[in-house]
Chain A
Amino acid sequence: MNFWAVSTEIFILVIMTVALAVDLVLPKKETRRGIGYLVISGLLAALVYTFGLYHTGPSMTFFDGLFLEDNYALFFKQLFILGMLFSVLFSLDYVEKNIKSPGEFYTLLMAALLGMCVMASANDLLTMFVGLELMTVSFYVLVGQRMDVPDSGEASVKYLVVGAGSTAVMLYGISLVYGATGSLDFAVICRSIQMVFSIGLAGIVLVMIGFFFKLSVIPFHMWAPDVYQGAPTPVTALLAMGSKAAGIAVFMRALYAAFPLLGGYWIPLLAVFAAICMVGGNIMAIRQTDVKRMLAYSSIAQAGYMMCGIASADAAGMKAVLFYAMLYVFANVGAFAVLTCVEVYRGGTTHTHLTGLAQSAPLLAAVMTVSLLSMAGIPPTAGFSGKMYIFTAAVERGYLWLAFIGFLMSMISVYYYLLVAKAMYRDLTPEEETANTAFRIPFGVRATVLLSVIATVGTGIYPELLAMLTNLASQTFMR
């Protein structure tokens, strides 16, 4: 038992326990802001610590290889920690104002983070399932944390029902794979000849459908818009970047490590679903006026882009997905930090609430625009380099049509992203002018948006640093 392999998870568990304990000890009336600071400093330490775990030799394992701490897992863990860190940082005011029991909120966030980290390291179907459930169950509760708005409760129940259904489907698929091969270990499944028979194939299909639900791939996406809209804004941010990236992490590992020999079956399937996501997500996003809901549809499209990378099934594709997942975190952090701030001061996240932001808070308007453009893939933001990586990998694999759809749809997506920019920058009527009061940007939000925009533009202009990290992560995996 090499406990160093799970040191990151232990770290997070400690943060979670301390947060819970402090919440219990503090008097009931007192503010829970301190717990937020505690969590932030803990996560910062964890982030720095994980950099020390990158290695070039063989990777550490735990539980007889069921849990694998390779560079690939480390990269994703850093991504989750980074996303969580910023989400807590920009939502300090939001939590204080809108969440009834902040102590529990922070504890649950840490539980979700723990689940994501376990998923990233999962090397068999059971560990994967445990991590997945830890994350999703925490999210069921987190989505319903806003007691004052009915939407939040509705979103929570909807997420629970759909999530439970998809879990059942996935579990059934896992049981079929186990029936075919007699093992849950990715390495054993990979070597098993039994998978080519119909029972194994049916298992893969069901596991994939389970993942499609989690990644909100069309036609399994119905829950996403309502849940994104109803959930507290920081939780929406985490759903979009953390939950989705965790799903991608384990999905890609399962496909590459457990089912590589069946690529002939799942690669075309993935390509088709990626195309459907890119087209459907972008088209449906056009008509949305609530930015959170728009981002829900856009996240469907983003899942499509990342699936293009997975479908190329080689080191270049994997590297592209890692790169894209990270820059998607930067972009989401920026966009949701702005939305959270706007919601705290103006009570909503529709285009109307954003009107005139360019005059009342030029920094926020600029960051929002840059973040959205990064999602659309317009240079010099990181999104452009990410799309180049993804689509070169796809074209190399022979999916020229996929790249074509991808580029075309990302240009269409600029339309609805620019509608947000239009709301923020357009001329105001006299009544709007008077209502458009300047507001104080809290330090946490200011720090978050500045860092996110620097990361987005910096990575866009000079992608080399992130590219080196992703190369490191994907190379150890492929070996």
Chain B
Amino acid sequence: MGFPLLSTVLLAPLLMALVICFLPREAREQIRVLAAAAMGLATCLTLYAYAAYDTAVGGMQFTEQIPWVTDLGVSYSLGIDGISLPMLLLTDVIGLASVFSSWNIEKRAKEFFILLLILIAGVTGTFVACDLFIFLLCYEVVVIPIYIMVLIWGSTKRVPKEYSGMKLTIFLLMGSAFMLVGIVSLYLGAYPAGQRTFDIQALIMASQMGNMSAEFQIFVFLLLLTGFGSLLSMFPFHSWSPDGYAGAPTAVSMIHAGVLKKIGGYGLIRLGLMVLPLGAKFWAPLIAGLAMINVMYAAYCAMVQKDLKYIIGYSSVSHMGYVLLGFAALNVVSISGAIANMVAHGIMASLFFSQIGYVYEKTHMRSIPDLKGLAHYFPRVTIGFMLAGMASVGLPGLIEFVPEVTIFMGTIGVYPFFAVIAIAGIIFTALYILRMLAKVLFGPKDEHFAKYEDQKGVEVLPLLLLGLFLVGFGIFPELLMRVIDSGVQPLAPMLAALSDVPMLLGGGF
């Protein structure tokens, strides 16, 4: 076994959190530098993994395996494939950017960075875990630090931060209760006693060998859908998302909207589709319908919002609709699009939140009527806003264009009606994004804002880092799509076989 790359990526933030525990509270400079160092190391290693990943071979690479709990059949097994690798990259890039976005935190900085690093490690773990137990362990680790972070560093605007924090926590935990029941059933249903395992690859094998009946798959998939769907803010479990993001501090909004939400989509593909294909097939029309509601309803809601964070919150719900739609179409093209869209939206949403966070930190305003003409005094922030906004609208050359097109191409043959409506959703997106950008950034000079400084030094780094990927993956989509393809192509035979299976719910549409 070579260098444990993934373990290092996973443990670097955790170990650094432990180190920070022992530093005095006053050592703010050291704490934030150490946090950035840990995330920098993780990001570099991930970039190396991204470059070194052999797309010709595909499958799980950089694997590590240590037996963990023998009587449950748990092993500490890590690995990445074409589906999890982009998500891992997303996690570390956004994690690093969020550390820089929190650079100026003064209130209880020590606790903040400890919790932030634990949060990032938890998210990393869910993407690199090849074992369902380790996945679960990391999945729920993230919920509690978020609650405490919202409670201490959050902001109270339309709803109190205590309320938004609790709402977010309870929604996600209730979802995970359903998911846990599903996973326990899956664990028990896959193999007879004595051979049981939490290894995801082994569960996929069990499914291919026909150990799970169609009824069983349909039932378990519904449980998983409830769990992952509430994390992905699928309608009607979406209402935590705008409130939660609005109450959360900048770094939490970035990580939550950027990567945490994507665990829902990742879980649906990794567990829902790969282990329970018949269940996915059965519920796909329902998911497509809900996805359409996500796209349209959330876009309508976003149009009437005044608070910038609410707009981006609703916009993220709307974008998740595209991901769900891509998933529901159940073909190679649409699923690649869904994964790419998760990456694209992650970069874009976290860039938005980091810029809003900066403006709020300086001016303590984030309501559209209060802000105007920022471009005169905040040229760099304006660049950030414009990049994220244009990407959000789907401008070619930026990261969001290719994924959206891919999703529509994959979907239109399967659900023409939903696809056309969802494409129309882009118009609404343009409407609220452009309106927001126009009012906030442009217009006459307002002397109120003259006293505030534009981003400088470390504060620019989130923009540089996220902007680099936003433009880079936009101009060279091949960099992203090649890796994703290597993960999705192996599913092609299974998906092709699946399209021939008649299903009650699936046959109805």
Residues of chain A touching chain B, judged by Cβ–Cβ distance below 8 Å, are: 319, 358, 362, 369, 373, 378-380, 384-385, 388-389, 391-392, 395-396, 400, 403-404, 407-408, 410-412, 414-415, 418, 421-422, 425-427, 460-464, 467, 471
Contacts and interface: CB of A to CB of B under 8 A. Distances in A.
A403 B181 contact: yes
Contacts of A471: 71
18 contacts: A319-B71, A378-B140, A384-B136, A384-B137, A385-B69, A388-B133, A392-B184, A395-B184, A395-B188, A403-B184, A408-B177, A411-B174, A411-B177, A421-B147, A421-B151, A422-B162, A425-B148, A462-B68
Contacts of B152: 425-427
Interface of B: 68-72, 111, 133, 136-141, 143-144, 147-148, 151-152, 162, 166, 169-170, 173-174, 176-178, 180-181, 184-185, 187-188, 193
Contact of B174 (A379, A380, A395, A408): A408
A391 B137 contact: no
A422 B70 CA distance: 37
B177 A415 contact: no
A383 to B, nearest CB: 11
A373 B143 CA distance: 11
A407 B140 CA distance: 13
B141 A379 contact: yes
Majority DSSP secondary structure for residues of B touching A: helix
A392 B188 contact: yes
Contacts of B180: 391, 407
- Report, nearest first, the 10 A-B pairs whose CB atoms are least far apart: A411-B173, A407-B177, A411-B177, A379-B137, A408-B177, A407-B180, A379-B140, A404-B181, A464-B69, A463-B69
Contacts of A396: 188, 193
Given A362-B111, A395-B184, A415 B162 contact: no
A422 to B, nearest CB: 6
A463 B136 CA distance: 14
A2 B89 CA distance: 65
Contacts, number: 93
A93 B180 CA distance: 42
A426 B149 CA distance: 10
A286 B193 CA distance: 38
A179 to B, nearest CB: 40
Contacts of A460: 137
Given A403-B184, A414-B170, 4 more contacts: A369-B148, A378-B140, A392-B188, A407-B180
B224 to A, nearest CB: 13
B174 A384 contact: no
Contacts of B178: 407-408
A380 B133 CA distance: 11
Contacts of A391: 180-181, 184
Contact of A380 (B70, B71, B72, B141): B141
A131 B152 CA distance: 49
Contacts of A422: 151, 162, 166
Contacts of B148: 369, 421, 425
Nearest to A389: B72
Nearest to B173: A411
B166 A425 contact: no
B188 A426 contact: no
A13 B136 CA distance: 45
Nearest to A408: B177
Contacts of B133: 388
Contact of A464 (B70, B140, B143): B70
A358 B193 CA distance: 46
Contact of A378 (B69, B144, B185): B144
A396 B140 CA distance: 24
Contacts of B151: 421-422, 425-426
Contact of A388 (B72, B170, B174, B176): B72
Nearest to A410: B177
B500 to A, nearest CB: 31
